[in-house]
Amino acid sequence: MNTSIEERFLAQLNQHLAIAHKISRVYQSDADERADLVQEMIYQLWKAYPSFNGQAKFSTWMYSVCLNTALTYQRKAKRWQHQTLMPLHEQVPDAAPNDREDISLRLFEAIADLAPLNKAVIILHLDGLSYEEIATVLGISLSNVSVRLVRIRKELETRLKDKLKTQ
């Protein structure tokens, strides 16, 4: 049975749509902005799909397109908005201090505060991509991935400890 390019794209997109939502959550704190960003990611994925040659996994290619879209979207938003977005902790009520959700929220907040490239590196790492895949998606060297991950872990650990002390 022959499937059209649209059907193949939609099948792969639906299988990996969580990637777009995850990236949008890290790069945008406002729900409406996240929805707009996801739509922009889907549009960019569709535009770029003819260039997807299957040499990498679809999910790896999708990460690359979505991260580039998020970074571009963020740069454009900064040009147009001269105010900062509401911090995530002001949007989501805090859970009990020992609650697992609270720890997850604090980790998410700490990741959201990282530099854009570091956000991308840690998201990909937490999603189980290999160092080689992360390097390919982001267009950086394997050693750069390794060094960044060590520094990111230390930075996140420090931020989380500081946040827990202030409670």
How many residues appear in the chain?
A: 167
Domains of the chain: 1-86 (1.10.1740.10), 88-167 (1.10.10.10)
Q: What is this structure's pTM?
A: 0.64
Alpha-carbon span 163 to 119, nearest angstrom: 19
The alpha-helical segments, DSSP class H, found in the chain are: 5-27, 31-48, 58-80, 88-91, 100-112, 116-126, 131-138, 142-165
Alpha-carbon span 144 to 30, nearest angstrom: 31
Please give the chain's pLDDT, 167 residues, in tens.
467 889 999 999 999 999 999 999 888 888 888 999 999 999 999 999 999 988 889 999 999 999 989 988 877 665 544 333 334 434 334 434 455 666 677 788 888 889 989 999 998 888 888 899 899 888 899 999 999 999 999 999 888 887 777 66
